[in-house]
Amino acid sequence: MVTYGQNRIYFDCNATTPILEESCKAAICSMQRVYGNPSSTHMAGAEAKLILERSRQFASDVLNANPNEIFFTSGATEAIQIGILSCLQSFADSSIKKELNNSKKILVASTEHKAVSSALEHWLKVLKLNIPIVVLEVNTDGIIKYEQLSEHAKDTLLLCTMAVNNETGVIQNLKKIERIIRKQKHHIYWLVDCVQALGKIDLDFKNFSIDYASFSAHKIHAPKGIGFLYLRDGAPRCPLIVGGGQEQGIRSGTENLPGIAALGVVLEMLSGRKKGVPVQALRTEKELESFRAILVNALKKAFPTIEFNSDFKDSVSTTLNFSIFGISSKELMNVFDAAGISVSGGSACNSKSVSHSHVLIAMKLPEWKLASAIRLSFGFATKKEEILAGAEAILSAGKALRNTCLNLSCNIENNSYESISPEDEIHGVIQIDYQNANSWLLIDKNEKNCIIIDPTYESIDRIVNIIKCRNFNVCAVLDTHSHADHESARKNIFLALNLPDNSKDPLGWPNESDEFLNFSSHYWKIKKLKTPGHTLDSVTYLVYNLSDQNEPIFAFVGDTILSGGLGRTDFGVSGIKHFYTTLQTLDKVLAEKTILCSAHDYNSSFATVWGVEKKNNQLLQKVFNPYCIFSFEEFSSEKKILDSQITSQNQHGQIVCGLINTYEIKDTNLPILDHAKLLADNYFVIDIRERAESLLFKDWNFIGLEVRPTNIPKSQIVNLIINLVHGENEYNNKKIALVCSTGNRSLFIAKSLRRIGFKLVWSLNGGFAFSRLKHDEQDK
Ligand code: PLP
Q: Which residues contact 535 (CB under 8 A, 6 or more apart)?
A: 481, 482, 484, 571, 573, 574
- pLDDT of residue 131 exceeding 80: yes
At 351, is the pLDDT very low, low, confident or very high (cuts 50, 70, 90)? very low
Q: Which residues of 293-331 are buried (b: 16+ CB within 10 A; e: fewer)?
A: eebbebbebbbbebbebbeeebbbbbbbbbbbebbbbbb
Q: Compute, in angstroms, the gap from residue 470 CA to the centroid of ligand 1.
A: 46
Cβ atoms of 607 and 721 within 8 Å: the answer is yes
Residue 771: per-residue pLDDT: 74
In this structure, which residue's CA is closest to atom 5 in ligand 1?
166
For the CA of 14, the closest atom of ligand 1 is 5
Of 118, 216, 228, 318, which is best to mutate to test ligand 1, by the most ligand atoms within 8 angstroms of its C-beta? 216
Most informative mutation of 112, 195, 318 for ligand 1 (most atoms within 8 A of CB): 195
Residue-wise pLDDT tens digits, 93-124: 766 666 666 679 999 999 999 999 999 999 99
Percent of the chain residues past pLDDT 70, beyond the cut = 90
Q: Would you state the pLDDT for residue 515?
A: 82
pLDDT, mean over the chain: 90
CA of 316 to the centre of ligand 1 (A): 17
98-112, 151-165, 390-404: least confident range: 98-112
* Selected residue with higher pLDDT from 45 and 277: 45
Closest CA to 584 of 625, 535, 634: 625
| Domains along the chain with CATH numbers | 3-17+284-403 (3.90.1150.10), 21-274 (3.40.640.10), 422-655 (3.60.15.10), 667-779 (3.40.250.10)
Instruction: Annotate 221-265 with DSSP letters as a single string.
Output: TS-SS-EEEEE-TTS----SB-SS-TGGGTB-S---HHHHHHHHH
DSSP helix/strand/coil, 742: coil
Question: Is residue 349 flagged as an active site residue?
Answer: yes
What confidence tens digit (pLDDT) does each residue in 160-195 have? 999 999 999 999 999 999 999 999 999 999 999 999
| CA distance readout (Å), 603 to 283, 435, 489, 562 | 48, 11, 24, 9
- Using 50, 70 and 90 to split pLDDT, how confident is the model at 654? low
Which atom of ligand 1 lies closest to the CA of 165? 3
Q: What is the pLDDT of residue 631?
A: 95
Most confident option among 146-155, 504-513, 731-740:
146-155
| Residue predicted with more confidence, 731 or 521 | 521
Check whether 1 has a pLDDT greater than 50: no
Ligand 1 centre to CA of 77 (Å) is 6
Q: Give the atom of ligand 1 at the shortest distance from the alpha carbon of 78.
A: 16
Task: Ligand 1: list residues with CB < 6 Å.
Answer: 75-77, 113, 115, 162, 166, 193, 195-196, 216, 227
| Ligand 1 centroid distance, CA of 344 (Å) | 15
Site to probe by mutation for ligand 1, drawn from 219, 318, 344 as the one with most ligand atoms within 8 Å of Cβ, is 219
Ligand 1: nearest atom to the Cα of 80:
10
Confidence class of residue 411 from pLDDT cuts 50, 70 and 90?
Answer: very low
Residue-wise pLDDT for 492-547, tens only, equals 999 999 999 999 999 999 998 878 888 889 899 999 999 999 999 999 999 999 88
Which range (310-324, 403-417, 447-461, 702-716) has the least confidence? 403-417
Distance between Cα 216 and ligand 1 center (Å): 7
* Residue bearing the CA closest to ligand 1, atom 12: 76
Asked whether residue 622 carries a pLDDT value surpassing 50, the answer given is yes
Nearest CA to ligand 1 atom 6: 195
Sign of CA dihedral 681, 686, 692, 695: positive
The tens digit of pLDDT for each residue in 456-504 reads: 988 898 899 889 888 899 999 999 998 776 667 999 999 999 999 999 9
Q: How far is the CA of 74 from the centre of ligand 1 (A)?
A: 11
Catalytic-role residue among 349, 405, 410, 475:
349
Confidence check: pLDDT of 704 > 70: yes
**What is the distance between the alpha carbons of residues 93 and 145, in angstroms, rounded to a whole number?**
31
Could you tell me the pTM of the whole model?
0.86
Kindly give the distance from the C-alpha atom of residue 80 to the centroid of ligand 1, in angstroms, as a whole number. Answer: 9
Q: How far is the CA of 217 from the centre of ligand 1 (A)?
A: 10
Residue 140 clears pLDDT 70, i.e. is over it: yes
Residue 115 CA: which ligand 1 atom is closest?
Answer: 10
- Is residue 649 packed enough to be buried (19+ CB in 10 Å), middle (13-18) or exposed (0-12)? exposed
Question: What is the structure's pLDDT at 670?
Answer: 84
585 pLDDT more than 90: yes
Ligand 1 atom 8: residue of nearest CA: 15
Give the residue, out of 14, 110, 113, 321, with the most ligand 1 atoms within 8 A of its beta carbon, to mutate for a pocket test: 113
Residue 403 binned pLDDT confidence (cut-offs 50, 70, 90): confident
